[in-house]
Structure 1
Amino acid sequence: MADQASWLRSLRDVASRISSDADLDALLRDLIRSACEHGAWDLGSIMAVDAAGGYAHVMARHDSALLRRRLEDRWALATSPALVALRRGEPVYIRDARESEAFPGYRREAFERDYRTVLVIPMACTDAEGHPLVLVVVSRAVREVSGDDLAFMGMIVHLGAIAIERGHRHRAQAAAAEQLRRALLAQGSLLREVLAGGSTAALAGRLSDLLKAPVLVVDFFASSLLATGSPVPEAYDDDAWRRALDGPLGRRILREVRGAVAQPHGGTVALRLTDGPAPPLSARVEALMVDSDAVGALLTFGGEEAGDLRNLMRDSAKLALGVQMMRSVLRFRFETRTLTELFFEIVERRWRDPEDVADRARRLGLSLATPARMLVVDFPEQASRPPARPADHAVDGHHAVALLARQLGLPAHVVAIGGGLVCLLPQEGEGRPPPEEEGHLPEEGRRRSLAEDRPRSPREGRRRPPQEGRRRPPQEGGREPERIARFARRVAETLRHSFDREPIVVLGGDCEGLDAYAREWERCWRMIRIARAFGRSGALSAPDFGPLPMLIGAADSADVRRFIDGAIGRVVAHDRDNGTPYLETLAAYLRAGCRSQPCADAMGLHVTTLRYRLSRIGDLFGIDVDTPERRFAVELALQLHGLIENSLPSPG
């Protein structure tokens, strides 16, 4: 070996050569060539040791011979000193590979390639896949290796390890910079898509490509789920997954996501795909907020490991979806508020110019000239209180009813009224097929021409009797009343699942003209008050209540109770405190037409006992039923008392 100055010049040359390489493969080739040339070795290679696979793979090699031939690129670790060098952490020196029996692979190749001495040096670095590297140099003649030689080769290896680690960092930084560039471009693309008015479905597809994972976008306002791919391909392909989300599975996932978003420390949600023992599907959930309300959620399944860049991409996705949801929320609130204001202006009779009201309604898609059926929904009492749930109940109910109307093919205008909804169902015109027959969605029915929506004269608006060969209007024996009644029942059932209690759904009559809307609203609201007073819920109409509840509803309930207390209140209190049967006896006597013997037979009493009870009733309470007027007052009080008592919920 040369003197110390030559070594330093050699090391400087090695450092300058390997430091100029940015590509890892070129760096390894320059490193092994420099090691062979400056260390006076004839052959050399750099190998990556895959201990789990049991092989050492040649990454780069150098051969000073001019003859090129096919060489072995993979060595079994059982016949290679590379694993020994890594385990010991020090070089392995084979003085004469032809005579060594410890490594038969090298012994065989030593004869094939005509070399003798081998030096294997472990490197303090790895390849791109994390496998440790070793440097192997070979001499064709038997060579004695001194301590200075080992120190010089160790310095070359150390410089190479530094360059390789620098190359790894450079490549990682370049990859991170490229990912950041793609993330920023994707963020800009997402925002442009949203600001250009793109659909949520198209936006969800871009999010899946951005996050490299299946995505599920949950819209609480529309009660919809948009999927870009199946997170369980072994159970559902993409199309089957989307179809499953349209059924009971989607409704279950919607409820579970709502619950997860309502939790203050959410982050992941376990989605149950079946009712059986199958393990749930884990997903990361991100709430989409508008005005401090959760209006939706972004779910990602699997994908790449979490990191700053992935969090940045997820935040970009949330921002884009939040803007999209905010546009929908603002549009919904504006349209709903405008329609609600117009509706209350009509039913409270605050309008002055009917033509102006008709024009404003037409701009909102509602034709006041077309007869419409009114359906009023009163939410359960706890649903109108501020709940710990992510979205407004009025919004949920509004979208659920609108979606149900579309599914049943009914054109509907849904109006939010705070603690409930009003659904106006335009009646099909004469000879016009229902929406499912003419192939239009309900929204399209709102966009009729001005010629169709113009106010009709009384003669034009009067229905003509069915003629030969003409389809009868649905209101006159057709399917329309049945469809609307079915719609009312479905509304009660759907909202019961949403609010955990059944709402009151009152089906009113036809509205044609501004005064008719006001009268029908008052009638429907009176029935709601009756239903509340008597604990009724579900789909109801006027015949369901009977005459007496309507009488109570028409009067003030406090006045009715004062009338009952004045007529029979003392009897009720006496029976309650003393266990006497005076109220029962009085009711049976009136049912028997004030005839003693039939009443005694019906009650299983002797007629003398009955007469004694009646006299006690007269003495204690001053009740006299001898005159028709007194008899009617007592009988009415008994009927109203029984009706009110039966409507009260049982204790416990």
Structure 2
Amino acid sequence: MESQLLSEPPLQRDETLRAIRDIASLLNANNDYYGLLNRLVSTICERLTWSRSAIMILDRAESLSRLVAFCDKDNVFDPQTVSWDLVSSPTLKVAESGVPLILTNAQNDERFPGYREFALRHDLDTIVLLPLSSTDQDGHEMVFSVASTQSVEMGEDALDFLLTISHLISIAVDKYKLFQAEQAVNNGLRALFESNTGLMDLVVGGCTFAELVEAVRRQLRLPFAVSDELSDSFIWSTHPANIEDLDKQMRRDAVDQMSRKLRDLILRQEMHNSPTTIKMELPCLKAEFDVIILPLLVSDQTVGGLALFPDKHRSGELDLLLAQGAQQAFSAYLMRMYAPWTQKTTAITSFFSYLFDGDWVSFDQIEGMAQRVGIDLSFPAHFVAVDLLPVIAESMALCHSIEAAARQIIPNCAAFYENQILFVYFPEPKRSGAKTISRLVEEIRSQVKWRTEVAVTVTCSTPCQSQFDFKQVRSHCMQVFRLSRMFQKTGYVTMSDFGSLAILVSALGDTAMTNFLNDVLSPIIEHDRKKNGSLLECAKAFLDNACRYQAAADALGIHVSTLRYRLKRLNELFLLDLENNEDDRFALSLALRIRQLRN
């Protein structure tokens, strides 16, 4: 049987206004969601001539039309009939078309078998279904219906009235959802305040790092990891879901790889005190993760980081606010841990600066100062020095981690900065001294390389045999670094790597040396580049073979006359007479040697 619009006598004005007033009074109701829906359909049954009223949702995931609110004037309700197959239900047609559907003589309408069976069971004749413009709390589409055991002829006014009712129901649902959202925000902000206060109370109360991580884990819904570079620790709360699903060995490998990548990101990323969202690839899983990094700062230096793994279905602004509260708590914890260490390091730095200056009065005075700052002044003693000036700024996390790593090898060592040089001081080990010192140097190089990802210069001082050697040892380290910068050497470097010529040239200074190379070599190099020539190669071969023509020509694989011509061109173009002028030969030879040292 087809649906149709039939003429019906209009509702009396008083009844209409009373029904609208009662439904409108529910617009500001803030009781529970299903209580609100049931009050709406009950009011419709009480004030109108319809014997039944209901609200359904479209559960597309389960392919069902579900009954969520129902009223029956005759108190006849079949609890077994709470859902229908969505495809064969009229609710799907109403929701997708956005147009009301009127079923007259519903007991004989074969288009919707589930509804026909329902109409037969409850002796229903006329059913009207209207779309609602709102969705429920989970985003499901909604349909409102009324039904009667009598045949009802629907006129235009009666349908308009039901459309008005459906519009009021939609407003009521939307207002309730808005109220609930506001309540959720208020509750979230209250929880955020309590969370931040609770975390800070833990920090002030002297909790351990693991206890603070556990407290944050209970409050954050997202997987996270936190890094404490001052104590060289890295802790996970839980792992992202696609890692948790792996078998034990693969999960261990994935976590190890991800931990290293996260620590690299935290240490090397240019970050301020704001969250940074990045993509992180994990080759072992062939997967990519969104990661939010919140740096942990102490005195404007990154000393750790909080890494969050957001879930687009679960995480929101409140989660980020909770994470920022956790970030503040972790930073406060690290500041509490850092304060005693930085006081001690400042005292050690002042002590060694005083010792390096050599202005002290007596060794007893020096020894007393050493005892107060916890320095073992046993002799002989050494320094391992790292030149950070060309590449990075001083980092307390780097200094702290290097000292911690060094103490695993030599327990009574101490690390400090002076003028962008990181020094590690230690008395000479009593057993296997050279081997232990070599291990220490390699460990320091490894730490610096891993944490900075730059090539730096490291050197080990000559031994300090007495208190009078400290000033000279410091000068020795500084000279190694000056030569390294001048000749662009990195890695582990000692004075023997340069030779007497380099030491002699270094007295000129880097600017004078660079100007000398530019004056002598640059014009020849530029000429060869433009003309695709080999004048400099010929000149070097001539000098390397003690200015012997045949030997130089043989080394170059050219005729002697060709060599003589090129030497003549050198003199014509650049006033370098290598055949007759000893000063010119010395200047070019020196320039070539300096360039070799720099390379």
TM over 0.5: yes
- Seen in structure 2, the aligned counterparts of structure 1 residues 489 and 146 have a Cα distance that, compared at 3 Å, is closer
Percent of matched pairs sharing the same residue: 21
Shift of 1:33: 1.4
What's 1:303 paired with? Answer: 311
Alignment-mate amino acid for residue 289 of structure 2:
L
The letter for the 2-side match of 1:184 is: F
Q: Distance in 2 between matches of 1:556 and 1:138?
A: 101
Q: Take 1:103 and 1:364, find their aligned partners in 2: how far apart are those partners? A: 89
1:649 aligned residue = 596
Matched to 1:414, the amino acid is: A
Out of 98, 120, 134, the position equivalent to 2:129 is 120
Match of 2:367 in 1: 358
For the Cα contact (< 8 Å) 1:94–1:100, is it kept in 2? yes
CA shift digits 1:25-81 (9 cap, x unpaired): 111111111212221222232111234543210001122335564431111133322
Q: Which residue of 1 aligns with 2:105?
A: 96
- 1:505/1:537 contact within 8 Å kept: no
**What is the letter of the counterpart of residue 315 of structure 1?**
Q
Give me the whole-angstrom Cα distance separating, in 2, the residues matched to 1:97 and 1:198.
70
Note the 1:451-466 alignment, pairs <5 A: none
Alignment check: 8 A CA contact 2:128 2:145 kept: yes
Task: Decide which moves more: 189-198 or 160-169.
Answer: 189-198
Indicate the residue corresponding to 1:508 in structure 2: 462
Q: 1:248 to 1:302 in 2, by over 3 A?
A: closer
Q: Per-residue CA shift, 1:144-173, capped at 9, x if unaligned?
A: 333343344333333322222211111111
Give 1:342 deviation, angstroms: 0.4
Tell me how far apart the structure 2 counterparts of residues 310 and 131 of structure 1 sit (CA, whole Å). 25
Please give the per-residue CA displacement for 1:199-250, whole angstroms capped at 9, x wherever unaligned: 4444444444444212233456666544323236437879989976996764
Tell me if structure 1 keeps the 8 A contact 2:380–2:464. yes
Compared CA separation, residues 517 and 350, structure 1 to 2 (3 A): same
Instruction: Specify whether residues 302 and 93 from structure 1 end up closer, same or farther in structure 2 by C-alpha distance, changes over 3 A only.
Output: same
CA spacing shift, 1:317–1:237, aligned 2, 3 Å: farther
What residue number does 1:614 align with? none
CA distance in structure 2 between the partners assigned to 1:242 and 1:420 by the alignment: 41
Taking structure 1 as reference, are residues 359 and 175 closer, same or farther at Cα in structure 2, changes over 3 Å only?
A: same
Equivalent residues of 2:221, 2:319 under 8 A apart: no
| Rounded Cα–Cα distance in structure 1 between residues aligned with 2:407 and 2:467 | 26
1:234 matches 2:243: yes
1:495 corresponds in structure 2 to: 448
Structure 2 CA distance for partners of 1:242 and 1:197, relative to 1, 3 Å: farther
Separation in 2, partners of 1:130, 1:534: 69
Cα pair 1:267 1:285 within 8 Å, conserved: yes
Report what 1:286 is aligned to.
294
Please report how far the alpha carbon of residue 300 of structure 1 lies from its aligned counterpart in structure 2 after TM superposition. Answer: 1.4
The structure-2 alpha-carbon separation of the partners of 1:173 and 1:533, relative to structure 1 and needing over 3 Å to count, comes to closer
Q: Superposition pairs for residues 159-178 of structure 1, below 5 Å? A: 159-178=168-187
CA distance in 1, matches of 2:371, 2:246: 45
CA distance in 2, matches of 1:282, 1:268: 7
Relative to structure 1, the CA distance from residue 70 to residue 247 in structure 2 (aligned partners, 3 Å threshold; closer, same or farther) is: closer
Deviation at 1:270, TM superposition (A): 2.8
Query: Does the CA contact (< 8 Å) of 1:99 and 1:107 recur in 2?
Result: yes
Aligned-pair CA distance for 1:355: 4.4
Question: Aligned equivalents of 2:235 and 2:251: distance in 1?
Answer: 8
Q: 1:578/1:510 Cα in 2 relative to 1: closer, same or farther (>3 Å)?
A: closer
Q: How does 1:517-536 map to 2 (within 5 A)?
A: 517=470, 521=474
> Would the aligned equivalents of 1:80 and 1:105 in 2 still touch at CA under 8 Å?
yes
Does structure 1 residue 483 correspond to structure 2 residue 436?
A: yes
* Bigger Rg, structure 1 or 2: 1
Residues 97 and 165 of structure 1: CA distance in aligned 2, closer, same or farther (over 3 Å): same
Query: 1:382-397, aligned counterparts within 5 Å?
Result: 383-385=388-390, 392-393=393-394, 395=396, 397=398
Equivalence for 1:270:
279
Q: Distance in 2 between matches of 1:283 and 1:199?
A: 26
C-alpha contact 1:261 1:287 (8 A) present in aligned 2: no
Alpha-carbon RMSD: 4.5
C-alpha separation in 1, matches of 2:544 and 2:156: 120
User: Aligned pair 1:342/2:348, yes or no?
Assistant: no
Give deviations 1:361-419, integer Å, cap 9, x for gaps: 33322233x4463123141xxx404x5x6xx3454652342243244464421122223
Q: What residue is the counterpart of 2:385 in the other structure?
A: 377
Q: Which residue of 2 aligns with 1:78?
A: 87
5+ long unaligned stretches in structure 2: 1-9, 510-537, 549-579
Judging changes above 3 Å, is the alpha-carbon distance between structure 1 residues 517 and 236 closer, same or farther for their aligned structure 2 residues? farther
Number of matched pairs: 527
Partner of 2:25: helix, strand, or coil? Answer: helix
Letter in 2 for 1:192: D
Conserved 8 A contact 1:58-1:74:
yes
CA distance in 1 between partners of 2:251 and 2:382 (Å): 35
Contact kept, 8 Å, 2:272 with 2:295, in 1: the verdict is no
Q: Which runs of 5+ in 1 are unaligned?
A: 429-474, 560-574, 586-618, 622-637
Q: Deviations over 1:238-273 (max 9, x none)?
A: 998997699676454433444432699993223343
Task: Give CA deviations for 1:410-466 in whole Å, capped at 9, x if unaligned.
Answer: 4421122223232222456xxxxxxxxxxxxxxxxxxxxxxxxxxxxxxxxxxxxxx
User: How big is the shift at 1:177?
Assistant: 1.0
Kindly indicate whether the alpha-carbon contact (under 8 Å) linking 2:302 and 2:397 is maintained by their aligned counterparts in 1: no
Residue equivalent to 1:613: none
Q: Distance in 1 between matches of 2:540 and 2:428?
A: 56
Q: In structure 2, how many angstroms separate the alpha carbons of the residues matched to 1:239 and 1:359? A: 55
5 Å-filtered alignment, 1:597-608, equals none
Amino acid at match of 1:501: A
**Contact 2:379–2:428 (Cα < 8 Å) also in 1:** yes
Is the Cα–Cα contact under 8 Å of residues 534 and 644 in structure 1 kept in the other structure?
no
AA matched with 1:484: I
Q: Corresponding residue for 1:472?
A: none
